[in-house]
Amino acid sequence: MSQSFLKILGENTKTVPLTEFMTLGKDTQCQVFLESENVADRHARIEKKDQSYLIRDLRTNNGTFVNDARVMEAFLQDGDIIRIGDRELIFLEKLEETAEFPLKSRNEVWNQELKNLGNVAKTEFPVLILGPSGTGKDVLAQALHENSTRKNGPFVGVNCSALSETLIESELFGHVKGSFTGAISDRKGAFEAARGGTLFLDEIGDLTYSLQAKLLRALENNEIRPVGADRNIKTDVRIIAATHQNMAEKIREGLFRSDLYFRLNVVSVTPPALILRMEDFEELLYGFAKKMRVRFSFGAIARLKKHPWPGNIRELKNLVTRASALYPREHITEEHIEKLIDRTLIQHVDDRVSNDIPVIKEIEKQMIIKRLTANKGNQRRTAQDLGMPKSTLHDRLKYYDIDVTAFKV
C-alpha cells in the first residue's frame, strides 16, 4: 500500500503522512495536534491494521465522527471525512497529483498560491479573484478556464460596472423581444453564451443590489429567467468573479449581499500588487519590452524599480507601450524614464487607486501572517521569504500590530 495522508482542514490546511500509530488530540504530545476546545487531550487514535488504517475513539464525550456517523472504531477509506470536535480531517490513500498551472512567480508565497490554483482550476467551485486594479485578475480568470475541464467550452466575460441596470440584466440573462425599449429581438445572455464553459463576472462589487438577488437565485437554482420571459432556463456554467473593491467594507455598508458573497467566495485568490512581487519585475518588463521591441538600459531598469507602481502590471505594460511609441528604435535610459512615468497616478492618486490602498495593505498583512505561520514566528526566514529587509518587517509588524509570539509553537 502506498503512503497515506491526513489532510487537516482549517485556516492553515496541512497534510501529514500517516505512520503505524498516531494519536490525535489537543495534548501537544499527540502526533496530530488539534487545537480546539471541543477536542479531548487524547481524542482518537489511528493505527495501521494489515493494509488498512483503523480509527478508534478514545472514549470521549464529544465523540469521533466519520462521514457524520459517530464511531467507536472504523476502517478508513479514501476521502473519508473525520470530525473531531469542530476540526475536520480528510483521510487520503495517496496525495492527489498536483495539476500544473501555467502562471508562475518568483515570489515564493504567490507562486505557492498559483500552484494551488492548478488543482482549483480542475474543480467546478466558483472562484473569487480580489485585489487591486491591474494586478492580472482577468489574466488569472482566463488561465483558470484554460486549465479546467471546461476549456473546450466558451469563456465569456461580463463587466458588471459598465452598463445600466437594465442592460446588465439583459447582458447576463438575455431578454425577449419587446421586454424593454430597445429590445427589438430576442437576445441570449452571457449565462447562455457561456453554456458548457466559464462565465467571468468582472467588477462584481459594482453589481446593483437588486441584480445581486437575481444573480444569487440563478446560482442557487442553476437557472435563469431572461428579461420578459415567462419560463426559466437551466444553466451550465462555472462562475469566476473578480473585483478590486473591499468586499468586507461593501457588506458592512449594506451595499453587497453577504449570501451572494459566500456563494461566490468558495475559493478566493488575491493577486498581489506589483510592489509586493518585485521579484517578477524584470521578467515582466523583458516580456513586454520584447513584444514591443524596445530596450531598457540598466540605469533605466534601476530607476523603474524605485517606482511604486500604483497601477500594477497594467501600468508597467502601458509604460513600455509608451516607450515604444515615443522613442522607437532608441535605447531607453534613465532620462527617458522620467518622462515616461505616469505622474497622474502618483500625484493625483485617482479614486480607484486610493480605494485600492486599504486592499493592498490587507494583502500585505495577510502575506506577512501567512509566512509567519509557516515559519512559526521566525522573523529572519519570514523577511527572507517576503523579500524584504528585517528592519522593514519590524516596521510592518508594528504598523499592523502583529504579535509575533502568537506564531511561536
Ligand X SMILES: Nc1ncnc2c1ncn2[C@@H]1O[C@H](COP(=O)(O)OP(=O)(O)OP(=O)(O)O)[C@@H](O)[C@H]1O
Q: Which residues bind ligand X (CB under 6 A)?
A: 103, 133-139, 202, 244, 284, 287, 313-314, 317
Minimum distance from residue 137 beta carbon to ligand X (Å): 3
Nearer to ligand X, 54 or 284 (CB): 284
- CB 71, min distance to ligand X, A: 47
Cβ atoms of 368 and 400 within 8 Å: the answer is: yes
Interaxial angle between packed helices 108-121 and 351-374, expressed in degrees from 0 to 180 and rounded to the nearest 10: 90
Residue 10 CB partners (closer than 8 Å, separation 6+): 87, 88
Nearest Cα residue to 207 out of 251, 165, 144, 266? 165
- Measured from the CB of residue 384, what is the shortest distance to ligand X in angstroms? 24
Q: Which is nearer to ligand X, 169 or 202 (CB)?
A: 202
List C-alpha distances in Å: 325 to 108, 292, 319, 340.
35, 9, 10, 11
Closer to ligand X by CB, 22 or 168: give it: 168
214/317 with CB nearer ligand X? 317
Nearest distance, CB of residue 83 and ligand X, angstroms: 38
Residue closest to ligand X (Cβ):
136
For the bound state, the minimum distance from the C-beta of residue 256 to ligand X, rounded and expressed in Å, comes to 17
> Which amino acid type is present at position 19?
T
| 116, 163, 268 from 155: Cα distances, Å | 21, 20, 19
Burial class from Cβ neighbours inside 10 Å (0-12, 13-18, 19+) for residue 292 reads middle
H-state helical runs in 57-198 = 108-121, 137-146, 165-173, 190-193
CB of 203 to ligand X, least distance (A): 7
Residue 64 vs 133, nearer CB to ligand X: 133
Residue 138 or 282: the one with the smaller Cβ distance to ligand X is: 138
Q: Tell me the β-bridge partners of 44.
A: 24, 57
